[in-house]
Chain A
Amino acid sequence: MKNLTLLLSPRFRGARNAFRTAGTRERKRAVFLAALGIAFWAGMFLLSTRVLLYFKEAEIIGDILAHHLLSMVLLTFFSLLVFSHVITALSNFFLSKDLELCHATPASMEEIFLSRYLFTIIDSSWMVLVFGLPVMLSYAYVYNSGPLFFINLLHLGTASVLIAAGLGVLITMILVNVFPAHRTRDIMMLLVIFLVVGFFILFRFLRPERLVDPDAFFSMVQYLSALNAPASPYLPTHWAAEILWHHLSGAPVEDYWFHMALLWNTALALLAVNIWTARAFYYNGFSRAQEAKSRRPGGDLFFRILIRLYTLPLARDTRAMLDKDIRTFFRDNSQWSQLILLAALVVIYLYNFSVLPLERSPIRLEFLQNEIAFLNLGLAGFVLSAIAVRFIFPAVSAEGRAFWIVRSSPLTIRRFLWGKYILYLPPMLFLGEVLIIITNNLLQVTPLMMWLLSITMFFSIFGVVAMGVGFGALYPRFVYENIAQVSTGFGGVVYMMVSTLFMAAVILLEAGPVYILFMAGIRNQTVTVLNWLIIVPAFCLVLALQAYAVVKPMRMGVRALTSD
């Protein structure tokens, strides 16, 4: 196993060297991200603590709810971990660029496999620390637990991660060996996306919020029996949850040692099963994954019509760019498949509005509907920013290493960036208006609000798209394994923050004038001259802000790309 440490060393040395040689800019970024992470942790901790304290106040069902929530949290993390391991295992075991070198060395197959196993665990499990730890700490705080809780949390957490890793790696190895080699990655990615979407929609449609609303159940007996229904005794998270709950609440637990032994035995057994499976199938799978892709492009007529319609009024060079971008987008499975996630997001967003229990609110219905519709402008803006960070922000980076073609061509960077802008603006306008108009219809808002919000959203989208393109040019990343990585970097975070602030500023500026106009409409009063003196400048400021949000980021983007 001497080679194992050698195989692990490049990753750790690389990280150490990157840290040592980091410039001031990189260090500032790291500090910014760390601050953001700590703020997120604090937020998660406070939120979880508040929920748990609220539960604790309920005398009969409080502890049952907290116990149930613990099981749900652990199960959710465990499912996410398995998904995450499937995806990272595919990359670490079969697609990484350094694999060719590793397999050419005299290192044994088991050594290579174990080194990749460890990389997969590290790559997949950081999110448990980020999202899971604050929740567990709030449990410890609210239930005033002793050191045994933390000791058990540490080793049971490790065992659970090992089980998730074992399952994820095993699933990946089987899939890679079953599907045709050149399609493995595409099929797996689609499979995972469909699973995530299915899981997400199912979870949302079960309406878990009803769990904290006993009125929704026919009787208290039915409610309590629903809560007490045990999770499957075959789930590893059930074994961990029982032990942890015992250390939190002091409640007696059956099979304490048996559950612990089950957890660790499963973890180690899965590792052994994986090593046996790897001996038989890993090399074969790796070899299949190396086989060349040879696919013919399809749907040429569809592309031609789409591109023709889209690029009709444009100049020849911009048309060529857009033609290339549309074709590339629909041929890259890692790009278009995200549209499935987008569709799920929109469906869930609209569904949430259709089940709002507005009639049970003590506030006057008409007022509430319009107030929510106004706030929905911000929410829809946030959803659009989230979509833009995934699709528009990476638009410049999507040129990848082929960006030399654009730079050496007569196409100016300014025209290049505006070309990207033109490409993404119409679909975003369509999506934004669909979100606003349908939700406003569901809320049955007044015609004045419908017009006002639709127009505000329409002009705001010009800014959201420009910021996406501009910030994407400010923080480009031309070397990546998967385009999705571009959105999750520092620039993506900055874009999300600025875009959210922009929408918040639009809402704040419009809040006063909208209230005046709305109340005048409800009371059938005329708007006074004094009122107009507030309304007109406010709307002018909104327009100016929206125009600034278009011009400034685009200029910054052009300057950034031309300065290298």
Chain B
Amino acid sequence: MTTPMIKLVDLTKTYRNFKAVDGLSLEVPAGIVFGFLGPNGAGKTTTIRMMAGVLKPTRGRIELNGYDLAARPTEAKRLVGFIPDRPYLYEKLTGMEFLRFIGGLYGMNGGEPPDRKAGELLELFELSDWSNELIESYSHGMKQRLVMCSALLHAPPIIIVDEPMVGLDPKAARLVKNIFRQQAEQGTTVFMSTHSLGVAQEVCDQIAIISKGGIIARGTARELSERAGVFGDLEETFLKLTREPGGIHEEPHPVA
């Protein structure tokens, strides 16, 4: 049996008396785009921040390509390109300097190769004209595109992305969707949280729905719709599943 690219075991995060993520377990294989859906406050961002190593779990384990994130953080993090929902960056660096900085952090050798790769990515995300401007002069969408460049720079086998389409114009959103699909076809695992059900339906191979800190349903968009008894429309499926306590596990629906 092959090692799952992402493995979450009994993942729990408690803030004082509130359980944001409650015993979440999940395995994601290599080479797919995995959608992570849920209503506001369901625990999506907390889960993603724990997977990226930004937040420490109260309990549970995260394995990235077999590396335990808690025991071997350096090796595990080297495999990940993380794109957060709010792109806070070093405002006083230029776009190119920021990419060089990221290249250094992820152990890319200095000199021409990372610069060339950075240049290609800036070109791809239409930021070449702004590469020598300070990031403080970038718009929200430009910062989001720059973070995507930085996440792809070291060619990671796992991309973890929180709400990727926020702040992007339709052209950039289309570009990002295409890139995620290409990456998955080349063997990269893309773990993506999104509010946009259209995006999930269009891009994701598999989807998990999270509610109140736990996963209530998992499968392809079609499988989920069928299990919820709502045919074809992911929005209806989502609303139905998240409305019901315990999701489909508590009250299973007949499969058509």
Residues of chain A whose beta carbon lies under 8 Å from any beta carbon of chain B: 292-297, 316-317, 319-321, 323-324, 327-328, 331-332, 400-402, 404-412, 562-564
Contact = CB atoms under 8 A, between A and B. Distances in A.
B137 A294 contact: yes
Contact of B88 (A321, A332, A401): A401
Contacts of B89: 402, 405
Nearest to B135: A402
Contact of B77 (A292, A293, A316, A408): A408
Given A297-B132, A297-B134, A564-B55, 10 more contacts: A295-B137, A320-B105, A321-B101, A321-B104, A328-B92, A402-B88, A407-B54, A409-B77, A409-B105, A564-B56
B207 interface: no
17 contacts: A293-B134, A293-B137, A297-B132, A317-B104, A320-B104, A321-B104, A324-B97, A328-B90, A331-B134, A400-B88, A402-B88, A404-B84, A405-B89, A405-B105, A410-B74, A410-B77, A564-B55
A400 B86 CA distance: 13
A188 B229 CA distance: 64
Contact of A412 (B54, B74, B100): B74
Given A292-B137, A316-B110, A410 B56 contact: no
A294 B138 CA distance: 9
Contacts of A319: 104
B30 to A, nearest CB: 20
B28 interface: no
B73 interface: yes
Contacts of B137: 292-295
A182 to B, nearest CB: 9
B207 to A, nearest CB: 24
Scoring B54, B75, B100 by chain A CB atoms within 10 A of each residue's CB, the highest score goes to B54
Given A294-B133, A317-B105, A327-B92, A407 B53 contact: yes
Contacts of A324: 90, 93, 97, 101
A558 to B, nearest CB: 13
Interface of A is mostly: helix
Q: How large is the interface on B (under 10, 10 to 19, 20 to 34, 35 or more residues)?
A: 35 or more
Nearest to A294: B137
B132 to A, nearest CB: 7
B80 to A, nearest CB: 7
A327 B93 contact: yes
B35 interface: no
A410 B73 contact: yes
A328 B80 CA distance: 26
B94 interface: yes
A400 B92 CA distance: 12
Interface string B127-140: 00000111011000
Contacts of B73: 410, 412
Contacts of B80: 408
Interface in B96-120: 97, 100-110
Contacts of A293: 134, 136-137
B222 interface: no
A293 B138 CA distance: 9
Contacts of A321: 101, 104-105
A149 to B, nearest CB: 51
Contacts of B82: 404, 408
B90 A402 contact: yes
Scoring A319, A404, A563 by chain B CB atoms within 10 A of each residue's CB, the highest score goes to A404
Given A293-B136, A564-B55, A564-B56, A411 B94 contact: no
Nearest to A325: B90
A408 B133 contact: no
Scoring A293, A297, A317, A409 by chain B CB atoms within 10 A of each residue's CB, the highest score goes to A409
B52 interface: yes
A320 B92 contact: no
A56 B198 CA distance: 84
A261 B56 CA distance: 63
B93 A328 contact: yes
B84 A296 contact: no
Contacts of A296: 132-134
Contacts of A327: 92-93, 97
A332 B103 CA distance: 23
Contacts of A409: 77, 102, 105-106
A475 B109 CA distance: 34
B117 to A, nearest CB: 15
Which 9 pairs of residues, A with B, have the shortest CB-CB distance? A320-B104, A401-B88, A331-B92, A408-B52, A409-B105, A408-B82, A410-B77, A410-B78, A294-B137
